[in-house]
Chain A
């Protein structure tokens, strides 16, 4: 069973929920948590251990071979991402713009654009009892997070396919990165907060998972702030409200220290119980 924790809006508590849920689940079953917010991963702040192993992830980018190139310029026209520029008698490759489609490299009549591996980021893996945790980090300055997300999912398929529960901390938003992470799962938990921002962005996230034909339900974090509109929305749309997590300053303080919250705040522990019993009823 693979479950994504996602949200439209950032900062609604994805990592908080993913980390606490994973640690609690791992008390009784083998669990994998993947932090796929590769631009700004934070799971590793909460889940720490000494024996982490780091895997470098690379991707293929064309490199220009001036000795073979006849400067015909076809590659410039082929590239839909403007990742190749002809400057005087030189072809410049702009790695951040390249999508690694291989078209220029394989179609070049002079074979002047061989593909070369370049760093994309890294996957850090850590095991703590029944929990396996991976955190993927994109190199700063690179534009596309989807390739690293996809590589991490492949890594999980290779190494952790047998884990009973696989949780995935998704990137925020509803653009390609979020879809790359969420499209492979069996179930989605959307987390939002009861404010107009939270409601607007939840609505976008709901549209996204509906378009992907994925079953989902919603957790509301910081219950007590804002207003009740989000609950009315859930009712009107017939969306399951899985749990509410109360707004408490203590939770924010514990979170800010990188602490595990359910062990200290009973209301959070209770909410996690509700979510886990739902998850277990799915499999």
Chain B
């Protein structure tokens, strides 16, 4: 089983639209994992049904029992995250600031602090109208365990692919290069980078490819909105060549992207004559190179 991850560095380059088009095309061969856990959008195209929902627990938050607290202030002094504040003669934890490191719990002389397991979100395993399964998630607001939830989404997708005997997992990643992206790259076999023809797109592509190279995962790139700035597109091609990233193809600026999203369908369903040949070719190339 091979794991393909779609990422972009920059947001809004068309990552999820491209992911949905490949999912539509290759539905018989794959399980889809939406790893953009704090802004998951694939469900708006894949229309999941029969979802099995499970809570996801990860990390802890400290809690101070005011009845036991002797107000010695040790936790308040030691907390590096300013997550403890004086309150009504003792101390209390500011949940949003607490990193869950446990330091206060280890040092409290009164045993007044406990560590509470955190429900940081939920993940869902669903059927889709395409027939393939979708694993997706919803991270709670401000939660800092997005990497672990991404890892959970991927491991569930793998388990399903095994049961269903599907050769591929297609994972839609999040923007950026931080913890959820790193978690989506762990164990991946192939990366599809979706960039756009703008200076910002190129700058973000370079940073995310540098990260991919650290993981030594082979990558390929689709340049979206390629006709917006031909000179930047040319710079992107040169960069891909130099960095040994396979160039899958260029897609000119197309209204079909937001039209398809507005209709809640994939690009291929929106305009089969135009998009089916393009994605068929991409998918063939991806399978040959993985």
Determine which of A143, A146, A196 lies in contact with B262 in the assembled complex, contact meaning CB atoms within 8 Å.
A196
Interface hits, B1-60 → A, CB 8 Å: 9-13, 16, 37-39, 41, 44, 59-60
| Distance from B107 Cβ to chain A, minimum over Cβ atoms (Å) | 7
* Chain A neighbourhood of B228, CB < 8 A: 249, 252-253, 256
Whether A173 lies near B103 (C-beta < 8 A) is: no
Query: Please, how many angstroms separate the alpha-carbon atoms of A200 and B45 in the complex?
Result: 12
Whether B60 lies near A140 (C-beta < 8 A) is: no
| Distance from B140 Cβ to chain A, minimum over Cβ atoms (Å) | 9
Kindly state whether residue B187 has any CB partner on chain A within 8 Å. Answer: no
| Distance from B213 Cβ to chain A, minimum over Cβ atoms (Å) | 9
A-B pair count, CB < 8 Å, reads: 191
Whether A201 lies near B41 (C-beta < 8 A) is: yes
Kindly state whether residue A110 has any CB partner on chain B within 8 Å. Answer: no
- A107-B107, A179-B96, A197-B41 given; A143·B211 CB < 8 A: no
Kindly state whether residue A42 has any CB partner on chain B within 8 Å. Answer: yes
With both beta carbons as reference points, the residue of chain A lying nearest to B104 in the complex is identified as A103
Stretch in B160-168, B171-179, B241-249 with 4+ CB within 8 Å of A: B171-179
Query: Please, how many angstroms separate the alpha-carbon atoms of A198 and B5 in the complex?
Result: 22
Query: Please, how many angstroms separate the alpha-carbon atoms of A231 and B277 in the complex?
Result: 36
Whether A140 lies near B214 (C-beta < 8 A) is: yes
Q: Name A's interface SS.
A: loop
| Distance from B166 Cβ to chain A, minimum over Cβ atoms (Å) | 26
Whether B261 lies near A257 (C-beta < 8 A) is: no
Query: Please, how many angstroms separate the alpha-carbon atoms of A183 and B144 in the complex?
Result: 15
Kindly state whether residue B81 has any CB partner on chain A within 8 Å. Answer: yes
Whether B144 lies near A176 (C-beta < 8 A) is: yes
Kindly state whether residue B142 has any CB partner on chain A within 8 Å. Answer: yes
Kindly state whether residue A217 has any CB partner on chain B within 8 Å. Answer: no
Determine which of A37, A196, A249, A257 lies in contact with B44 in the assembled complex, contact meaning CB atoms within 8 Å.
A196
Determine which of A8, A197, A207 lies in contact with B16 in the assembled complex, contact meaning CB atoms within 8 Å.
A197
Determine which of A8, A143, A222 lies in contact with B147 in the assembled complex, contact meaning CB atoms within 8 Å.
A143
- CB pairs A–B below 8 angstroms (10 shown): A9-B11, A10-B10, A11-B11, A15-B200, A143-B182, A172-B39, A174-B38, A208-B141, A222-B258, A256-B198
Q: Which A-B residue pairs are the 5 nearest by beta carbons?
A: A11-B12, A10-B11, A101-B101, A256-B198, A176-B144
Whether B253 lies near A138 (C-beta < 8 A) is: no
With both beta carbons as reference points, the residue of chain B lying nearest to A252 in the complex is identified as B228
* Chain B neighbourhood of A122, CB < 8 A: none
Interface hits, B132-180 → A, CB 8 Å: 139, 141-144, 146-147, 174-180
Contact mask for chain A residues 3-24; partner B; CB cutoff 8 A; 1 contact, 0 none: 0000011111001000000000
* Chain A neighbourhood of B196, CB < 8 A: 256
Whether A39 lies near B198 (C-beta < 8 A) is: no
Determine which of B12, B60, B103, B255 lies in contact with A101 in the assembled complex, contact meaning CB atoms within 8 Å.
B103
Contact mask for chain A residues 121-163; partner B; CB cutoff 8 A; 1 contact, 0 none: 0000000000000000010111111100000000000000000
| Distance from A110 Cβ to chain B, minimum over Cβ atoms (Å) | 16
Q: A45-B203, A141-B182 are in contact. List 10 more A-B contacts (CB 8 A).
A: A39-B176, A42-B199, A42-B204, A103-B106, A143-B179, A174-B38, A175-B142, A197-B16, A222-B258, A249-B253
Whether A40 lies near B12 (C-beta < 8 A) is: no
Whether B96 lies near A183 (C-beta < 8 A) is: yes
B13, B96, B102, B177 interface centre (most CB from chain A within 10 Å) = B177
Contact mask for chain B residues 43-82; partner A; CB cutoff 8 A; 1 contact, 0 none: 0100000000000000110000000000000000010110
Interface hits, B210-235 → A, CB 8 Å: 210-211, 214, 225, 228-229, 232
* Chain B neighbourhood of A80, CB < 8 A: 59-60, 100-102
Query: Please, how many angstroms separate the alpha-carbon atoms of A107 and B105 in the complex?
Result: 12
Whether A177 lies near B262 (C-beta < 8 A) is: no
Query: Please, how many angstroms separate the alpha-carbon atoms of A81 and B101 in the complex?
Result: 8
* Chain A neighbourhood of B13, CB < 8 A: 11
| Distance from A275 Cβ to chain B, minimum over Cβ atoms (Å) | 20
Whether B12 lies near A10 (C-beta < 8 A) is: yes
Whether A39 lies near B177 (C-beta < 8 A) is: yes
Kindly state whether residue A30 has any CB partner on chain B within 8 Å. Answer: no
